[in-house]
Structure 1
Amino acid sequence: MMAFLSMVGVGLIGLLPLANPLTSVIVLLGIGSHLEPAERNRQVLQASVYVFLILLISFYAGQAILNLFAISLPGLRIAGGLIVGHIGFQMLFPKDALDSGTPRQGGSQSIAFVPLAMPTTAGPGTIAFIISASATVPAHVPTWMFQSAAVTSFALTGLICWLVLRAANPIMRMLGHSGIDAISRLMGFILVCMGVQFVINGIEQVYHGLQG
């Protein structure tokens, strides 16, 4: 049991800094503030389930999927960076504000899978970490225990994401529309920077691969 709990702990320590649920809160504050609270809570729950499923699929079939479509990890990083950068630009320069100068109205468009679950939480770094970990089962650990610990870590990561994202509701009520708009633009700039860094890291990996 202690070995199992230790592996779950190691999995969480590796996953949470990469998944960084706080980044998803930033995105939710920026592009989900116009949603009704009930709809926002529903999409937060969906996003948390999607995070778990993405991690699970990456663990069991991630490398096979990448090989099937001839996608490299650097390519995954660059694609994720472009998506994150695009989301950042949308937050930095809201289309509705530019077009009409009026606040965004309520809507029901889904933000659960993209961008909350992927690539914001289960992004290229997280997927690469899981694919690497899935191929390195310790020799002294039974396979069933390793896989059970991994699935438990994924479930706990999804639960933590849900708890953190639910905390966005009181933050929205406290900040109000103008406060959310200001923070959204600031965080949009940060996301653009993160997206650019993802692309740079992917290009560096390609360069080192060519050099090696």
Structure 2
Amino acid sequence: MGYLFDAIVLGLLALLPLINPPTTVALFLALSQGLSQHEKNQQALRTAIYVFAIMAFTYYIGEFIMDVFNISIPGLRIAGGGILIIIGSRMLFPQPRQPSSSRESETAHANFAFIPLAMPSTAGPGTIAMIISSSASIKHNTNFPSWVLLTAPPLIFLFAALIVWGCLRSSELIMKATGESGIDAVSRLMGFLLVCMGVQFAINGSIEIIQTIINNNLPLLHSP
């Protein structure tokens, strides 16, 4: 059980900066204005279900998508790193919010759980890119027993969805405790972490490409 616990903790540490619960809470509070507590709870539950479904779907078909479109792991890591850098930069330097019309607000109240809460606010392009790029490595990982590699991913996605659900359910308390300035500070900190992760993704992908080129050219260099 210790291996399973370690795998779940590592997975959550990688996902939490990407799913960014503080930003999702702030967006949820803005979109749920005028709704009853029962309606807010429904939207929170739907968002958590959608987040779990998106991450699980992405993980289990990631390698298939890469094979169909002939995408390499290094290429995906570089592209994913670029996405993370862009998203993190936007979180570090957020643009001023544009006021929405009353008609747009009424439409958003109909069902905002999938768009924009689940995607792209929570399980957005950065999360999807990281899950796809990590799926192949995780499935061939030798640091954990095979049963851990089978059971850990869905549990990681489940716990991540539960964290999102818990944050949204307690959004009013979080806002009262931290205030908008507190949520903004945490969001900027996570944005900085995302930029760092994106740069590291791009570095790792570039190193793998260079190593592949060197390994492919070694036989040519040693041939008579």
TM bucket normalised to smaller? 0.5 to 0.7
- Check if 1:171 corresponds to 2:174: yes
Please, what TM-score do these two structures have when normalized by structure 2?
A: 0.64
Distance 2:38 2:192 in 1: 32
- Check if 1:136 corresponds to 2:141: yes
Distance 2:168 2:47 in 1: 9
Distance 2:166 2:17 in 1: 9
Distance 2:144 2:51 in 1: 29
Distance 1:211 1:165 in 2: 44
- Check if 1:194 corresponds to 2:179: no
- 1:57-136 residue pairs with structure 2 within 5 A? 57-69=57-69, 70=71, 72-89=76-93, 92-96=94-98, 107-108=108-109, 109=112, 110=115, 111-119=117-125, 122=127, 124-136=129-141
Residue 46 of structure 1 aligns with which residue?
46
Q: 1:66 to 1:209 in 2, by over 3 A?
A: same
Distance 1:34 1:13 in 2: 31
The secondary structure found in structure 1 opposite 2:55 is helix
How many residues in Structure 1 have an aligned counterpart in Structure 2? 194
Q: 1:24 to 1:201 in 2, by over 3 A?
A: same
Residue 102 of structure 1 aligns with which residue?
none
The structural deviation recorded for 1:18 is: 1.0
Q: Rg bigger for which structure? A: 2
The runs of 5 or more residues in structure 1 that have no matched partner are: 100-104
The secondary structure found in structure 2 opposite 1:96 is coil
Q: Percent of aligned positions with the same letter in both sequences?
A: 18
The runs of 5 or more residues in structure 2 that have no matched partner are: 212-224
Residue 206 of structure 2 aligns with which residue?
207
Distance 1:50 1:17 in 2: 20
Residues 25-68 of structure 1, C-alpha deviations (whole Å, 9 max, x = no match): 21124333213255554443233223322332343221222333
Distance 2:13 2:85 in 1: 17
Residue 157 of structure 2 aligns with which residue?
154
Distance 1:203 1:139 in 2: 26
- 1:16-27 residue pairs with structure 2 within 5 A? 16-20=12-16, 24-27=20-23
The structural deviation recorded for 1:17 is: 0.8
- Contact 1:21 1:161 (C-alpha < 8 Å) held by counterparts: no
Question: One-letter code of the match for 1:118?
Answer: G
The secondary structure found in structure 2 opposite 1:32 is helix
2:29 aligned residue (30, 33, 36): 33
- Contact 1:85 1:191 (C-alpha < 8 Å) held by counterparts: no
- Contact 2:44 2:169 (C-alpha < 8 Å) held by counterparts: yes
Distance 2:49 2:9 in 1: 20
Distance 2:51 2:65 in 1: 17
- Contact 1:7 1:149 (C-alpha < 8 Å) held by counterparts: no
The secondary structure found in structure 2 opposite 1:94 is coil
Question: One-letter code of the match for 1:166?
Answer: R
Distance 2:98 2:5 in 1: 44
Question: One-letter code of the match for 1:169?
Answer: E
The structural deviation recorded for 1:164 is: 3.8
